[in-house]
Structure 1
Amino acid sequence: MLTFIQRLFGKASSKEKLGQCKALDYYLLRELEKSELIRKDQIDVVIQHLNDEISLNKTGNKLTTEEKKELGINPRLQITYELLAVLNENGRAQHDPKSVLSSIAMKANFARSHDEMNQNYRSMGLKQFEVVGCKDDRDCAWCKSMDGKKLSVSQSINDLIEENCNCDRHCRLVTVAVLT
């Protein structure tokens, strides 16, 4: 039982943390390649921004209020030309262009977390996990229908989300272990 608890709540070593950063880059790259809002030739710049290596928000090269109104962007937001440069036409048409990048980062984080949790469930010898929704109006119909369902650890929740989820920003389903 102690081993089970240590596996569940144990601290990650520095090597594991480095591995998590590389894994997150994989998930970020996958989400960026799927995105219809990012210019494909700017994916490397977006990854650097999301990894806090550069900041597209703090260049000091901000759009004026008139420019933001002309583009249909919330005029109260501070948006830089560099941020707009990584977005394609559809991305620039969003009311809040900053949310495009944060949404991609959240999708990548949730996908990585789902895969890690599923791997943990398997390593602990568990057979099932339960899907838990946020139970608010941001969940799509499919996410609401999945709330409380038990799935086998051999089933990838990310594959199901990819095929079925229609949430606006990102899927917020989480999984919890089913202890039997």
Structure 2
Amino acid sequence: MVFKKKYVAVLLTAAFILFLPTSYANAKNDLELSANFDKNEYKTSDGISIQLLLKNAGKTPVYVNKRFFMNAEEASSENRDVYLIVESPSGEKLPCKVSYETGLPRTADFVLLAPGEEAKPERDKNIKYFFDFSKPGDYKVTAVYQNIRGQEIGVDTFKGKLTSKPSVIKVVE
């Protein structure tokens, strides 16, 4: 009888290990990243704040890193949670003006998003700090969220890239 209980326990554990990652991976594919602006048109002298939002559009909870540290695309994935791709009015990709060491996220930066729940940064980011918007015209901005953290604190988080739909903002004199 003891042998049968151990055998059943081993089978259940194996089934759990085999099938949980599949359903969990599907939940990760249901995350959506959006990048929005408070207005469509900015003066060259205005700050340009971006609002980032992660939404769990799936049916399964998923852990995410809600730190949203922004850095240059060229920075290592260890030093950024989000980067922006900004196209100038001429269609050229703008270089990011800032790159810095971010350090590790805090335990509190990892949250479990239930279906329908959202996570956002503590505050909006002024992207003029990162990019040169001095020329008038239309700029196309796309946000990319990439998380590689979580295992350091034993949390199975979303690991991968999410890309927002592009937003177009107009800069005028």
Structure (1 or 2) with the greater strand fraction: 2
TM-score, length of structure 2 as denominator length: 0.28
Question: Rg bigger for which structure?
Answer: 2
Structure (1 or 2) with the greater helix fraction: 1
TM-score, length of structure 1 as denominator length: 0.28
